[in-house]
Amino acid sequence: MDSEEKLKNFLKKIPKADIHVHLDGSIRVNTLIEIAKLRGIKIPSYKEEDLLTTVFKKQYNDLVDYLQGFKYTTAIMQTTADIERVSYEFCVDSYEDGVHFVEPRFAPQQHINANLNIEQVMVAVDNGMRKAKTEYNMKPSVSDGSEPPYDYGIIACALRFLPPGISPYFDNFLKCHEYCEPSRISALASNELIQAMAKIRDKYNLPIVALDLAGAEYGYHAMEHVEAFQYALSKYFNRTIHAGESDGPQSIYQAITKCHAERIGHGYHLLDYIDLIDPGIPDPHTYVENLLKFMEKQQITVEVCLTSNLQTHPGLQSLKKHPCRQMLRHNLPIAFCTDNRMISRTTCSEELYKAIVEFNLSMEEVKACVFNGLKAGFFPCSNREKKDFLERCNNYYDKIAKEYGF
């Protein structure tokens, strides 16, 4: 076994968390094709190789182009059976990559239709994931304590922008609010979502752990969703927000200070003080430095998605130009995540491998980043149970590291 293969095997076996991953962006391609054929859903091609070259590509023009594939993935998640299948397979694929805690996020309102309400959507996701969790945790190596268990939380995504045609539910929502400003309509939808999540969580005892804000970021401010995130806080939900993915530091500032975000999704433009042209920010460099200090002090984890960033920022060209290394120099807790296993065609272990190669991470930094993700997870359990889980992960990590000489 050469050194590269040895490292990749090590990274696959160590216990990891994927805390920024979209359920509807992580569907098996063959499953998408099978369901599309079964339900009579039109997709660009029913051949896997064609979809991987024309829709789910290696490179995209920008974030908006990257998001186009979701109209096909969400289209095949419109029945309880299909949602359960996708959720179950997602968990299987994750723990085969050594992921022991996962927090899939998705926009439940995109799956509401004439035959499916939002309660059924959430129960279906949980049913699929719970089945996989039960199977995994019945393994002898988990039962005897030698391997960490598998667990999950579910994150509901509110959307920054609601274009016509995004889903039947949203089309009806737009029609019912045709005289509202677009930003107000999306804010109302966010409020409806989080209030539904609170009732469904409590009614069915589901592990719905957090509210997220996703979608096209530039021009659609997090501040417009303050009311929904305030409600989330009042109902003891955690908060994570896509910010700094296609907008600058001020977007991250809004997410943290206005919407109480505990984690930041992507944060790619966190350090871009040179692009701050707001007249209300007289000293952009100091603005960014203060933001970095606050995030470090509050231990606000940045959910870094290297492959996704490379795909949606054509000007990036090489990960060596990614700001991740600078984030680490500022002592920010970094967690490497997949974003979309299928659309980005990656895994957690592959993201870690890229980070090691591109940023020359030490093994101490690798372990720190792995446990940043595990610690930052919004576990649907008590702190004592989380502490026990982390301890088992730590023991297992050290065991694997010893086996591989790391």
Does residue 355 register a pLDDT over 90?
yes
> How many helices (H) and strands (E) are present in the chain, helices listed first?
18, 9
Distance CA 394, CA 363 (A): 14
Instruction: Give all domains of the chain, ordered by start, each with its CATH number.
Output: 3-404 (3.20.20.140)
Classified as helix, coil or strand, 207 is coil
Q: Mean per-residue pLDDT for 35-58? A: 94
pLDDT tens-digit readout, 293-345: 999 999 999 999 999 999 988 778 789 889 999 999 999 999 999 999 999 99
Distance CA 195, CA 275 (A): 36
Specify the DSSP element, H or E, that contains 240. strand 238-243
Confidence of residue 274 (pLDDT cuts 50, 70, 90): confident
Does residue 64 register a pLDDT over 90?
no
CA geometry: angle 358, 27, 149, nearest 5 deg: 75
**Pair of tokens at residue 157:** 């995504």
Distance CA 244, CA 253 (A): 9
Confidence of residue 377 (pLDDT cuts 50, 70, 90): very high
Helices (H), 258-302: 284-298
Give CA separation, 123 vs 157, 160, 205, 341, 399, in Å: 16, 25, 10, 23, 37
**Pair of tokens at residue 79:** 């029945």
Distance CA 72, CA 80 (A): 17
Torsion of CA 38, 43, 45, 48, to 10 degrees: -70
Distance CA 93, CA 75 (A): 21
Confidence of residue 370 (pLDDT cuts 50, 70, 90): very high
Q: What is the pTM of this model?
A: 0.96
Give CA separation, 202 vs 1, 213, 353, 378, in Å: 50, 22, 39, 17
Q: List, in sequence order, every residue forming a beta bridge with 22; answer none if it has no partner.
A: 105
pLDDT tens-digit readout, 215-236: 878 888 999 999 999 999 999 9
Amino acid identity, residue 237? Answer: F
